[in-house]
Each structure stands twice: as structure tokens, then as C-alpha cells.
Amino acid sequence: MSVVDPPAVAAEIDAMKRAWDRRMVLACLTMAAIVAFFAIDLWGDEGMAGELMTIAPWFLGLALAIFATTRLAVAHQAKQIRAKGAGGRVSSAK
């Protein structure tokens, strides 16, 4: 089921989604910078690839957790914005 929002509500939801997407990208880039910081000490070592592979699952898991949390927050805030746009009435029918 798709929801057709009034233009003002759609614009507010779009701005909120873009803000959350920026936060998600910044969080993932920060994690990548931390991984790179720890990898600098290993640069040139024979075990560098193995050490980075021990960090990779943590990085991927945290990135997926950030993505899921972001999507949940976006859905929750979109519902609140729609409720505010509907005068406080939210239909829970699916």
C-alpha cells in the first residue's frame, strides 16, 4: 500500500530522510577511518590481510546495524510527521 502525502508533508519527510542518510554515511565513513587507522600499523606486514579480515565482519555488522537503525528511525519519524500533517490522526490499517 502506498501513501500519498500532501506536498508539505512529503517535503518534510524527504528532508528528514536526507538528513538521516547523511548521518548514516558519516557514521560508516567514520568507522572506515577507524579501520584505516588501525590498518596503518599493519601496512606492509605479511599478516596484514588476515588482520584486516578479522576487523571486516565487525565493520560490516556495525554498518548493517546502523542501516537498520536508520531505517527504523526514518519510518518512525515519517509516521509522526504524517500524524502531525493529518491533525494528529493516524490510521493503523494496512
Q: pLDDT tens track of the chain, all 94 residues?
A: 566 778 888 899 999 999 999 999 999 899 888 878 877 776 667 777 777 778 888 888 988 999 999 999 999 999 998 888 776 555 555 4
Per-residue pLDDT at 36: 80
Per-residue pLDDT at 59: 85
Cα 27–32–35 angle (5° rounding)? 130
> How many alpha carbons lie under 13 Å from residue 43 in its C-beta half-sphere?
7
